[in-house]
Structure 1
Amino acid sequence: FTKGILMLGGSTDLEFNGTYFAGDLSGITAGRLPIWFQRFYKPGKKISRNRNWGDKLDQIVEKAPDWDIGIIVGVPAWLQLLIEKIIDRYQVKDIHEIWPNLKIFVHGGVSFEPYRKGFEKLLGKPMIYIETYLASEGFLAFQALPNRKSMRLVLNNGIFHEFVPFTSDNFDEDGNIKKEAKTLKIDEIEEDKDYAVLISTCAGAWRYLIGDVIRFVSKSESEIIITGRTKHFLSLCGEHLSVDNMNKAIELASEELNIRVKEFTVLGVPFESLFAHNWYVGTDDEVDAVKLTESIDRELKKLNDDYAVERNHALKKIEVRPLPSGDFYEWMRQNGKEGGQNKFPRVLKGEKAKSWQEFIRTKYPDL
């Protein structure tokens, strides 16, 4: 607590509808900081009230040299974008030329691994990474020890957890929970199996499906990893492709081809009489689309036996399209999803998929 703590989140200027105030969780949290913490907190009260996300980032960039930041907190994609802006504005080699004491990155919301390669190119020194798992309904888990990829569930803070095995017995093909779904308590779970999480809280949430899919890596320590979302998966023909598989494949492909991937999303589509996966990968590096397709496809076959089988049967085509990373942020802005609280969906379905395809067709008529 001798350095500044930059928390990049939503506006603290909440909306009032005559009955209650509403806003992003990160904005609510920043607006309710205890007095003792406020001396460390950046970007400060004035900038944090700004509802215009673009203006807020520009204001932070202008103030950056005046701050001695030791800890940054936020969603990886937006913090990476901010750091790139700062480096570009002051024409420095890395962010540590501006903030030499920057040591810790507290992140959450999405897996950090696909972002790691691009993020670490912006650094001049090693960083300590701490993952957290929180939602508007409560603080669920945190990384208890360094160098672990798992987080420890918080079991003594007013949240009662139930765990639903993430199987076809309990969920339909769209990821909706079935009425007859079986639930387990914390003492009934097994390691290395996927579960959706139900929570009941002192604040009034009752058996709320939080939407994440987790896996216990240690039952005795209640250590978990997040493997995906109940509705962010692809299984058009039995390939059972999870977000965890997708993240890992992108990480491995970016290492192999030496590219930085900032965003990606996947759509399942009909192809001839069978099926295909369309990948859209956000990178500002030059990359051969054919090589990227081959790399992702090859890694997914290693990671997922069901995927490997279906690639020889019903899943007939994989198409990977590299796009400038700015396209992803532009689509989010057009859909009112710009800001520190928002993450680009790893799988697009239904209306969101149609919206994205129309956006891409308009922007790239030849694709």
Structure 2
Amino acid sequence: MAIIGSIIKKVIDVTGSISTEVNAAESQVKVLKQLLEKAQDTSFGKFYNFSSILESEDVVKTFQEKVPYFDYHTLNERWWSQLHEGSEDITWPGSPSYYALSSGTTGKTSKRIPVTEEMIDAIRQAGIKQVTALSNFDLPSDFFEKEIMMLGSSTNLKEHEGHLEGEISGISASNIPFWFRGYYKPGEDIAKIDDWDERIKHIAENAKNWDIGALSGIPSWMELMLKEVIAYHKAAHIHEIWPNLQVYTSGGVAFEPYEKSFNALLGKPITVIDTYLASEGFIAFQNRPETHAMKLVVDNGIFFEFVPFHPDYIQQDGSLTEDAPVQTIDEVEEGKDYVLLMSTVAGAWRYIIGDTIAFTDKERAEIKITGRTKFFLNVVGSQLSVNKMNDAIKDLEDIYDIQLPEFTVGAIKIENEFYHQWYLGSDSELNVSEEELANKLDESLKNANKNYRVARGKALKGVKVKVLPLNTFYEWSGANKKKGGQVKMEKVMKEEKLKEFQAFIENL
């Protein structure tokens, strides 16, 4: 009998049952006031006169009128760069203990995003909320005695100018509570290995020594790790090695594109729980099993704003125009795409995180990730967002019974005519031609997107498809950024990046 597991489960169930729903709009106003009060004596707070904002009749509206939008480059150049020069009290009191290194999905140069002790605490508190939410998933008692494989970036943080640097998953893992360390795998020694391939090799070698009940990490790298473990032990599926695996906590990207290929690695169904942890904070987590949508963490150190995702408001680099309208959580509409803005306890202000989201249930403050501001293909008016692309790829998977977990697309010009060039990543045995895949992809996009259908009747002449081995995408990430951790494949490539990718393919 799982005595310890029964005790833990009972505590979680009781805690979950007494947890009260918060009013999202009221909580958000309270969070903003707390942020402004805490930062009013910083250089940023004085420059934008946070004290007067706090005295205004409508704090939210005045805040939006006084403080502009910031992307990483503008906030870093004007403000965070002073932190690197040794200054304190710039956008948040004191100086950050950590910097989250994030190359995101678009380039080799790492962003250095401040992570304060208050943010570490906020991430920890959000994690506790997520654990409490497990009471809604009806998991057996023995699950709570199993080990958890957290596949993030290296926890071997680098010391630099009086602080530590690493990816947010590595920072979070290095700050796990002492009581959790016995459950945490692959363990501190393996987690500190910087080289992804070497770390995965050690995980595979030690896999049978662990009783893994849950997995946590980005789907693409999780799949690659599971394949390596399965291959090393010459198993048919991962449940031959980890028979008690019951839960996968996905994160950072929408899980749906990976669902088919991920399930092919399993011996039996498991519970998939989505989370949304970014370098800028713990944003949302799945609160109930009836949906893959995630509940925004509205009462814990982050104030959210939402800009309608429309081509008129998005500039070529993914930033927003100055006149882009903004809405608060009580003003949004369900089913519409929004650019997500955050103001946080790490000193980010009206910060364009780069993701687009949509509300699936406004009353519950539940969202889904729909794409990236830079992953928006608008050549000759096609206006394709990532969620529309994901839906079309899923159609191909269902129609032809294949797995297509990775893709990228860009616009090409042939004899003065525009085409969308798609590269699909698959290790499936294909019984369909690339031409047929292109035609079906084109058909799905026409049916799902009015603007695309109009563009296809005018300047956009067609779709071309090239199927590549899945490993091509992993090696591209390794060559341009690195493998594993928070690294995500770019879904849309501009002309220069697409040429680099094509040259990379030719040289393989």
Contact map agreement 1:216 1:222 (CA 8 A) in 2:
yes
Q: Tell me the equivalent position of 2:267.
A: 124
Greater displacement, 179-188 / 60-69:
179-188
Deviation at 1:174, TM superposition (A): 4.7
Q: Tell me the equivalent position of 2:501.
A: 356
Query: Partners in 2 of 1:21 and 1:345 — Cα distance?
Result: 27
Q: Tell me the equivalent position of 2:289.
A: 146
Cα deviation per residue 1:98-147 (whole Å; 9 max; x = unaligned)? Answer: 11110000001222112111111111111100001121111111111113
- Between the two structures, name the one with larger relative contact order (CA 8 Å, sep ≥ 6): 2
Greater displacement, 169-178 / 137-146:
169-178
Q: Tell me the equivalent position of 2:152.
A: 9
Query: Partners in 1 of 2:316 and 2:414 — Cα distance?
Result: 19
Contact map agreement 1:257 1:292 (CA 8 A) in 2:
no
User: TM-score under structure 2 normalisation?
Assistant: 0.70
Q: Tell me the equivalent position of 1:197.
A: 340
Contact map agreement 2:426 2:470 (CA 8 A) in 1:
yes
Q: Tell me the equivalent position of 1:261.
A: 404
Query: Partners in 2 of 1:223 and 1:18 — Cα distance?
Result: 39
Contact map agreement 2:319 2:352 (CA 8 A) in 1:
no
481, 484, 490: which is aligned to 1:339? Answer: 484
Deviation at 1:270, TM superposition (A): 2.2
Decide which structure has the larger Cα Rg and report it: 2
SS at match of 1:214: strand
Deviation at 1:172, TM superposition (A): 2.9
Contact map agreement 2:412 2:495 (CA 8 A) in 1:
no
SS at match of 2:253: coil
The gaps in structure 2 that reach 5 residues or longer are 1-143
69, 72, 75: which is aligned to 2:215? Answer: 72
Q: Which amino acid aligns with 2:279?
A: S
Contact map agreement 1:192 1:216 (CA 8 A) in 2:
yes
421, 424, 446: which is aligned to 1:281? Answer: 424
Q: Which runs of 4+ in 1 moved over 6 A?
A: none
Deviation at 1:340, TM superposition (A): 2.2
Q: Which amino acid aligns with 1:77?
A: S
Q: Tell me the equivalent position of 1:246.
A: 389
How many residues are aligned here?
363
Query: Partners in 2 of 1:27 and 1:175 — Cα distance?
Result: 27
SS at match of 1:140: strand
453, 456, 463: which is aligned to 1:318? Answer: 463
Q: Tell me the equivalent position of 1:225.
A: 368
CA separation of 1:350 and 1:278: change in aligned 2, threshold 3 A? closer
Cα deviation per residue 1:204-248 (whole Å; 9 max; x = unaligned)? Answer: 111110111111122211111211111101010111111001111
Query: Partners in 2 of 1:335 and 1:214 — Cα distance?
Result: 27
Q: Tell me the equivalent position of 1:19.
A: 162
Q: Tell me the equivalent position of 2:353.
A: 210
Query: Partners in 1 of 2:312 and 2:223 — Cα distance?
Result: 40
Deviation at 1:324, TM superposition (A): 0.7
Q: Tell me the equivalent position of 1:234.
A: 377
Write the mapping of 1:88-127 to structure 2, written as runs, cut at 5 A: 88-127=231-270
Query: Partners in 1 of 2:315 and 2:195 — Cα distance?
Result: 39
Query: Partners in 1 of 2:427 and 2:445 — Cα distance?
Result: 23
Q: Which amino acid aligns with 1:362?
A: N
CA separation of 1:351 and 1:272: change in aligned 2, threshold 3 A? closer
The gaps in structure 1 that reach 5 residues or longer are none
Greater displacement, 140-149 / 37-46:
140-149
Deviation at 1:18, TM superposition (A): 2.7
Question: More helix per residue: 1 or 2?
Answer: 2
User: TM-score under structure 1 normalisation?
Assistant: 0.95
Query: Partners in 2 of 1:271 and 1:176 — Cα distance?
Result: 30
Q: Percent identity?
A: 47
294, 302, 315: which is aligned to 1:172? Answer: 315
Deviation at 1:181, TM superposition (A): 1.6
For the pair 1:295 / 2:440, whether they are aligned, the reply is yes
Deviation at 1:276, TM superposition (A): 0.9
Cα deviation per residue 1:19-55 (whole Å; 9 max; x = unaligned)? Answer: 3211011111111110011010000000000001000
SS at match of 2:299: coil
Greater displacement, 189-198 / 101-110:
189-198
Query: Partners in 2 of 1:125 and 1:144 — Cα distance?
Result: 23
Deviation at 1:283, TM superposition (A): 0.7
Query: Partners in 1 of 2:441 and 2:147 — Cα distance?
Result: 40
Query: Partners in 1 of 2:482 and 2:462 — Cα distance?
Result: 31
Query: Partners in 1 of 2:311 and 2:410 — Cα distance?
Result: 21
